[in-house]
Every structure is written in C-alpha cells, then in structure tokens.
C-alpha cells in the first residue's frame, strides 16, 4: 500500500537514496526498480512518475554522489602541504566512515565510461584534478615540494591511487591510510 507524500521532491530524494544504498550493497548488476520501489514503499509503476527511465534515476544518483563528494574539492586553509594533508585525511576518514559512497563511486567509475553519464564523470574528475594541480603548482613555487614534480602527473597519480583505494574502502582502512601517508612521504622526498 502506497503512502502519500505531499512533496514530490521528498519522494524523489527517497528514491535516489534508496537506489544509492542498493548500488552500494549489490552494485549496478543488483539494481532492480522493483526493489527500489519496495524500499520506499511505493508501487514499481509509480517510479516512472518520478523517473521516466532507469537511466534517469541513475543519472540522479550520479549527481547525488558527486554532491556528497564535493567536500574533496573544497579548499582547506593553510599551506599547500597542509592543504594536501587535509585533503588526504578527509578522504581517508570518509572512506572509513562511509565506504558505501566509495562503493557507488567505483561502480559509477566503471559504468560511466560506457554510457551518457561519461561527460559528467569526466567533468567531476577534471575539476578534482585541476584543484590538485593548482595546489601542487603553488606548493612547488613556494618550495614545499621539489620543482622536478609534474603537477599534472602527480595529481593524476594521486587520483588514481584514491580511486583504487575506493575499491577497498571499508575493507582495509589501515592499508588506505598507509597509502595516503606514503603519498605524503613521496611528496616531501622522504621515501
């Protein structure tokens, strides 16, 4: 039996969050519209009132994930070295405290390379990369890191390491923290 929600945006958010949770647990392969509808307590046919297609629902989940990940693009106070440390620390904590976010992000990363959401994903990654590159350029100019580092390559490497860590978020938090600490040691020239 369906419950009536006066505000369609509230119901839409419930559907997005339920979809997110299912993807976090089961991946995209386990995502079924009927399960999302059941989770929220509506008839599966009603889903199409809110989202005309499964792809439209998934696009909204992608936006939801990127919104939750905006904290990684926010600028922290302090020197470039302190900002990088804060960035890696936030990521490490978020992976420990919210592994579902990284499970869904990893699923999206694989899926988005093959569909219409690829541009959204690329735009998010580009913004993240540019943020890190700017931080690295500034840190090199200010003498925090060696001038032989290529900020574009280092930013790309950091993102790849973080994306790889996202695949095991919730399973091996100590390994993730050690990897992030190693990044900082490499950046400072301490191997």
The residue ranges of every structural domain in the chain are 8-64, 69-188
8-64 shares its CATH topology with 69-188: no
Q: What is the pLDDT of residue 1?
A: 44
User: Which pLDDT value is given to residue 24?
Assistant: 92
Tell if the pTM clears 0.95, that is, is over it.
Answer: no
- At 162 the pLDDT is 85
Least confident segment among 11-15, 140-144, 159-163, 174-178: 174-178
What is residue 114's predicted lDDT score, i.e. its pLDDT?
A: 66
| Per-residue DSSP letter, 172 | -
Mean pLDDT of the 45-62 span: 90
- Say whether 75 sits in a helix, a strand or coil: coil
Per residue in 4-20, pLDDT (tens digit) is 555 888 999 999 999 99
State mean pLDDT over 33-41. 94
Per-residue b or e along 79-113, where b marks 16 or more CB atoms closer than 10 Å to that residue's CB: ebbebbbebbeebbebbeeebebbbbbbbbeebbe
Over residues 136-141, the mean pLDDT reads: 95
- At the topology level of CATH, where does 8-64 sit? Arc Repressor Mutant, subunit A (1.10.10)
Mean pLDDT, residues 16-41 taken together: 93
Q: Tally Cβ neighbours within 10 Å of residue 155.
A: 20
pLDDT band at 116 (very low <50, low <70, confident <90, very high): low
Q: Does domain 69-188 have CATH number 1.10.1370.40?
A: no
Name the band, by pLDDT with cuts 50, 70 and 90, for residue 38: very high
Confidence of residue 136 (pLDDT cuts 50, 70, 90): very high
The mean pLDDT of 109-138, rounded to a whole number, is: 83
Calculated CA dihedral for residues 173, 154, 61, 113, nearest 10 degrees: -120
């Amino acid at each position: 039996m369906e419950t009536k929600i006066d505000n369609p945006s509230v119901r839409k958010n419930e559907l997005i969050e339920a979809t997110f949770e299912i993807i976090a647990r089961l991946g995209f392969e386990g995502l079924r519209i009927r399960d999302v509808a059941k989770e929220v307590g509506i008839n599966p046919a009603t889903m199409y009132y809110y989202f005309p297609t499964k792809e439209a629902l998934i696009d909204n989940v992608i936006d939801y994930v990127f919104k939750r990940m905006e904290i990684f693009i926010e600028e922290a106070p302090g020197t470039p070295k302190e900002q990088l440390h804060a960035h890696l620390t936030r990521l490490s904590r978020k992976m420990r405290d919210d592994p579902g976010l990284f499970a869904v992000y990893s699923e999206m990363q694989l899926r988005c390379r093959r569909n219409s959401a690829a541009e959204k994903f690329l735009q998010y990654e580009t913004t993240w990369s540019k943020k890190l590159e700017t931080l690295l350029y500034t840190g090199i100019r200010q003498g925090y890191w060696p001038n032989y580092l290529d900020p574009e390559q280092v930013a790309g490497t950091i993102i790849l390491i973080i994306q790889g860590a996202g695949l095991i978020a919730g399973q091996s938090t100590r390994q993730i923290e050690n990897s992030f600490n190693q990044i900082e040691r490499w950046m400072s020239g301490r191997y």
